[in-house]
Structure formats: structure tokens, C-alpha cells
């Protein structure tokens, strides 16, 4: 962790206290929170990319948690985000067919 700190899950300070330490924290304002959520998304994606098959599901869940927080920050709930995803999937498809595009002729 750098000297600027990092965004952590809500119960982390409580868990640190239970381990006998005293966490130093502050509550981010709206602009700081937005930036830190984006930083957290990058951190979680990097952890997912480095994970093996046994830890990848936990890392993927962490990404989803950050995505839900980003959606709430944009004023939408996870159900609204899911509706957008479903619309895009209907219109453009998903990734189940494993299609790799290599250009046009």
C-alpha cells in the first residue's frame, strides 16, 4: 500500500481492530471515492489476471463488488446495470461463442 492509502471494504477497519491494531482511515468525498473506485477496479482486475483457477472465483467476485459500487456511484442499482448488459447481449451478443475477430477482407 502506498502512502495515499487505498479503498477497502467497509468492515476492514473492524477486522484490523479485532486483530489488535488501530487503523488510520478517512471517509472519501465524492470525487475521491470515484477515483479510488476506478483504482480499485484496476487492482482487482490485476489480481484476477494473476490468480490461478482456485482463487480466480474470489477475485472475480471482488471485481463484481467494485462494479456494483461504480454503478451505485453513477446512480443506478445492480439490476439496472444488469438490464443494460442484457440489452447489449441481445443486440450484439455475448462472448459464449469464443469468436476472435482478426479484421476484414
pLDDT of residue 2: 62
Return d(Cα 59, Cα 52) in angstroms, integer: 10
List the pLDDT tens digit at each of the 105 positions of the chain: 666 899 999 999 999 999 999 999 999 999 999 999 999 999 999 999 999 999 999 999 999 999 999 999 999 999 999 999 999 999 999 999 999 999 999
> What pLDDT is recorded for position 4?
87
Q: How many CB atoms lie within 10 A of CB 40?
A: 20
Q: Which residues of 42-59 are buried (b: 16+ CB within 10 A; e: fewer)?
A: ebbeebbeeeeeeeeeeb
Long-range pairs for 2-6: beta carbons < 8 A, 24 or more residues apart: 6/36, 6/39, 6/40, 6/43
pTM, 2 dp: 0.89
CA distance 34 to 41: 11
Amino acid at each position: 500500500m502506498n502512502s495515499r492509502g487505498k479503498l477497502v471494504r467497509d468492515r476492514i477497519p473492524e477486522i484490523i481492530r479485532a486483530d489488535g491494531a488501530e487503523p488510520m482511515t478517512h471517509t472519501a468525498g465524492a470525487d475521491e471515492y470515484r477515483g479510488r473506485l476506478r483504482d480499485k477496479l484496476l487492482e482487482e482486475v490485476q489480481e484476477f489476471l494473476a490468480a490461478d483457477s482456485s482463487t480466480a472465483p474470489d477475485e472475480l467476485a471482488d471485481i463484481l463488488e467494485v462494479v456494483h459500487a461504480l454503478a451505485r456511484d453513477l446512480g443506478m442499482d445492480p439490476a439496472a446495470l444488469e438490464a443494460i448488459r442484457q440489452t447489449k447481449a441481445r443486440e450484439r451478443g455475448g462472448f459464449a461463442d469464443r469468436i476472435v475477430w482478426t479484421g476484414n477482407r
